[in-house]
A and B are shown apart, each in its own frame.
Chain A
Amino acid sequence: MKKGPPRSALRFLRWFCREDYLEEIEGDLTELFEKQSEQAPGKASWTFYGRVLRYFRPDFIKTFKTGNPLQYTGMFQHYFKIVSRQLVRKKTFSFINIFGLVLGMSAFLLILNYVVFELSFDKFHEKGEHIYRIRNDHFSEGVFEYGRAITYRDAGPSLKEDIPEVLDFTRMNGLFGRSLSITYLNKGGKATNFFEENVYYVDDNFLDMFSFPLVKGDAREVLKNTNSVVITEKIGVKYFGAVDPIGKLITVSGDQSFYVTGVLKNIPPNSHMSFDFLFPIKSLPEYQNRFAEKWSGSGGDVAYTYILVKNTVDPVDLEKKLPAFLEKYQREIVADAGVTDQFILQPLVDIHLYSDIGFEMTANGNSKMVTFLMIIASLVLLIAWVNYINLTTVRATERAKEVGIRKVIGATKGHLTLQFLLEALIFNVIAFMLSIVLVLSLFPLIKNYTGLPFDFLLFRDISPGIFISVLLAGSILSGLYPSFVMSSFKSVEILKGKSAQKLKGISLVRGLTIFQYAISVALIAGTLTVFKQVDFMLNRDLGINVDQVIVLKAPQAAKKNYASLLNSFRTEILSYPDFVEVSASSEIPGNAFNATSWVGQPKAAFSEFKKYPSAWIDYDFLPLFELTVLKGRNFSKDFSTDENAVLVNEEFIRSSDFLSLDQAIGQSIITNRGDKKIIGVVDNYHQVSLKNAIEPVVFFLNSDRNRKYLSLKVKTTNLPNALNLLQSKYEVIFSNDPFEFFFLDNHVNQQYQADKLFGKTFLLFSLLAIFITCMGLFNLSYITTTNRIKEIAIRKIVGASISNILFLVSIDFIKLILIGIFIGVPAIWWILHTWLSNYAFRIELSMGFMIAPIFIILIIAGFTMAYHIIKAARSNPAECLRNE
């Protein structure tokens, strides 16, 4: 028998070769093989393989499966056409579907933008990756006391000297709530005054380490001289207008001269440090010498310290070296009092979101809040997608005939799935484009409303690939289930006319509806609770009266004769009936206590001393703020010994282990500010936000420290007049100091800004969620009633009333909503409980908070459904039964 060519080679050839060429090629190859095998049988097979392989080239390879590309673009065109017809024909359906998606996506994009902004903090520093801030944790007898963002002023230089991995350090010394009186000559040559708070004293390499760009001046040189100052563009304009500020003279506190050597670009909003002035740290006397103070928490920890480490250094390894380093400088103190510190390295880029310790430069963000917002936004987006799934699935029966015909013509399940996925993609893309338009046009409004300083960063920081993949994922997620349902219709049954096919895939729709309502009810309950809590904090009796109080920033320039000037100011201003009370103090309500004092009972060992927040007040502080004295008395001018007396608050008594309320008066205590005697116990009041517990406080009488604020109680019907009067008197007596004031009640309420914003965000999202959910329900009830229209008609004929029908149809939905509520309520209960536990003073979570949202949901849902159901129930039964 004649031996044929190798089968495997033939099979391969037949697999890849174009059908119209195959016969010829196979024939020619076989002929050649036959001829060759007569001469060299062994070699023939190999040659055959070789020849076959040579045909494996584009000229001969058939187009696989994808076949003729024209046919497929045609199919796609057809799908597009069908979708656009669907869009136009079912206007309400399409509108609701797309509108829901637009709302969900817009909310998501806005939040995403905020999140991107929060994540972009401090990423602009070129060396940022290798910069760490020293966090100083303080321990007493091994017990953690507090962590601070500031540390000892010598820590920076010593770290650089002792630890080779530390390449460089830079320090910042702030004003800690004080303000600096700055004088300069304005255009007309007149001396002008401003109080500035955003001021830091920094090392000369500060601008080298951090990448804050300079408009004018060289980063390495501008801070070299102790009489130089760097300002921001904003301040340049404020002070000197269009004139070049370089070389201009400014005077600080009336006697120190500085020349402007550099102008910084304004500090970007996504920086955890923000400043208007940078003075050389060496201009502060305490920074001119090293090791002037012991390293212990009782003072000297004043400098924000940033270190630059070698590229290769692992911060964990570096941190391990720090205890030994601290030991070296703190040994004495440890032996004395058991005070120990710990240094922790905070990566620069993590400070904004992950650090919340004492003396943060600016209010930091909160990584939990960012996550939380992201979750809420994703939920709203998910609800919108769920709407799409529900509506499309329920509408499937309407398109059953289309599916049937397609199947008969030859569409496979794959084709149908592709078609409906494509539909989902088109809906999503349209919604995405619209939501981008919406977000861009709403953005300025939202920025205003929230008062957040961020910019539109979405298209800068997120690559389009991410948008596209999320969009694709969303389309597949929302399109897959409906397309499965639709492609699984049995064409024969549909075409036989069994039109009222049983609603398929309804169980998933039910499940998803439950999910939507669970989220909605949770969001409503959340909104109510947040609003209640904010309201509670704003209206709670603080134990202190901050109404009708004007606060002035106390004069700084007057130094030696401050006390007498203050006295004449007080006498002068109180001679007018508009002003009732004047008090100078180191603290005002709404600000956390800045200073602390060590306090212990007489003969206490050093280790028994504790740190207490301290305030310096005068005789009029208590009456002005209407604070009650529980025991003893206020400071009084009648007792000359009051210089050595203190007032304490009730919390102080409670937290101390050697005092009781009854025996406190007359007790002696030892402080690092001298031996004092307790003369009175003040009722507790809220110094700061109700988020914080009431702290124990020691009030000292007049000292230089009470020159931070002047509070004035006003009683007037003509406030502008009173303010003018106040300003003129102030400017006469404190001629070298600027007049700056604010209203204390505003100041106190400002602490709740973040909570209010949180409430507003919550409200916005719950409104969105409910709105989208109800739009879904609106359509769902429409489709259900149309599907059951014959049933409704027959029921009417046999005597059902409209209310019977209303009940019959809506009970299905009500059941789902109720299940949703029973899932949502416990979940939100738990979440709110956790949230409220952040607040020292909070509302009690009660069932009432849950019942209101349940009713809100049920009422809204009821009205939404009622429209279509009543419409169906009132229709003439003959109309729909006629064409059977």
Chain B
Amino acid sequence: MKTPSIGEFEELVLLTVAAQHNEAYGVSIKEALEETLNKTINISAIHVALKRMDGKGFVTSRFGGITQDRGGRRKKFYVITAFGKSMLDQQYEIRTRIYQRIPNISFN
């Protein structure tokens, strides 16, 4: 089977899921990303990314409890899987390795 790949936006979402360990759900991810990236993000885009990563096995999900907020709808919390984490590690390592190969460039 082909090893699943990860897109740029998906990676950002996955990073956020990992960062907010056990407490990440649609709205919280949106807010965290908007804060970090300093731009508006569509909630639907986040949902798409989450569903796709769920399909690839990078995240799993569970429902939270019922509250008065959210029109009585449960939150769906996402947790990074070990597979997802290893993917992140690999991405990080690749980037760092390549980054370290950059010679000292002077831009004068």
* Residues in A lying within 8 Å of B, measured CB to CB: 4-5, 21, 23-32, 34-35, 51, 54-55, 57, 59-60
Contacts and interface: CB of A to CB of B under 8 A. Distances in A.
Given A21-B51, A59-B51, A27 B71 contact: yes
A54 B27 CA distance: 16
A316 B27 CA distance: 77
B44 A54 contact: yes
Nearest to B61: A24
15 contacts: A21-B47, A23-B63, A24-B25, A24-B26, A27-B71, A27-B73, A28-B70, A30-B70, A31-B69, A35-B27, A51-B43, A54-B42, A55-B47, A59-B48, A60-B47
B76 A24 contact: yes
Contacts of B52: 59
Contacts of A25: 26, 47
Interface in B57-99: 63, 69-71, 73-76
A462 to B, nearest CB: 48
A496 B57 CA distance: 53
A30 B51 contact: no
Interface residues of B, number: 19
B42 A27 contact: no
Interface of B: 25-27, 30, 42-44, 47-48, 51-52, 63, 69-71, 73-76
A57 B47 CA distance: 12
Contacts of B76: 23-24, 27
A31 B27 contact: yes
Q: Which 4 A-B pairs have the closest CB atoms?
A: A27-B73, A28-B26, A24-B76, A54-B44
Contacts of A27: 26, 70-71, 73-76
Given A4-B71, A24-B25, A28-B70, 15 more contacts: A23-B76, A24-B26, A24-B74, A25-B47, A27-B71, A27-B73, A28-B25, A29-B43, A30-B71, A55-B47, A57-B44, A59-B47, A59-B48, A59-B51, A59-B52
Given A28-B26, A51-B43, A55-B47, A5 B71 contact: yes
Contact of A34 (B30, B63, B69): B69
A24 B51 CA distance: 11
Give the most central of A30, A31, A55: most B CB within 10 Å: A31
Give the most central of B43, B44, B76: most A CB within 10 Å: B44
A4 B47 CA distance: 22
Contacts of A59: 47-48, 51-52
Given A51-B42, A54-B42, A26 B27 contact: no
Contact of B73 (A23, A55, A60): A23
Given A51-B44, A54-B42, A26 B71 contact: yes
A28 B27 contact: yes
Contacts of B25: 24, 28
A320 to B, nearest CB: 71
A32 B27 contact: yes
Contacts of B27: 28, 31-32, 35
A26 B73 contact: yes
Contact of A30 (B30, B44, B47, B73): B73
Contacts of A28: 25-27, 43, 47, 70, 75
B71 to A, nearest CB: 4
Given A27-B73, A27-B76, A32 B43 contact: yes
Nearest to A4: B71
B44 to A, nearest CB: 4
A26 B27 CA distance: 11
A683 B74 CA distance: 112
A55 B45 CA distance: 9
Nearest to B52: A59
B48 A34 contact: no
A21 B51 CA distance: 9
A493 B34 CA distance: 67
Contacts of A32: 27, 30, 43
Contact of B70 (A31, A51, A55): A31
Give the most central of A28, A31, A35: most B CB within 10 Å: A28
Contacts of B74: 23-24, 27
Contacts of A35: 27
A494 to B, nearest CB: 47
A32 B75 CA distance: 12
A57 B45 CA distance: 11
A336 B58 CA distance: 108
A35 B42 CA distance: 15
A27 B76 CA distance: 9
Given A24-B76, A28-B25, A31-B27, A55 B71 contact: no
B94 to A, nearest CB: 28
B33 to A, nearest CB: 14
Contacts of A55: 44, 47
Contacts of B73: 23-24, 26-27, 30
Give the most central of B51, B63, B73, B76: most A CB within 10 Å: B73
Contacts of A29: 43
Nearest to A25: B47
A867 B47 CA distance: 74
Contacts of B75: 24, 27-28
Nearest to A50: B42
A35 B26 CA distance: 14
A117 B69 CA distance: 78
Give the most central of B42, B70, B74: most A CB within 10 Å: B70
A590 B26 CA distance: 98
A2 to B, nearest CB: 9
Contacts of B71: 4-5, 26-27, 30
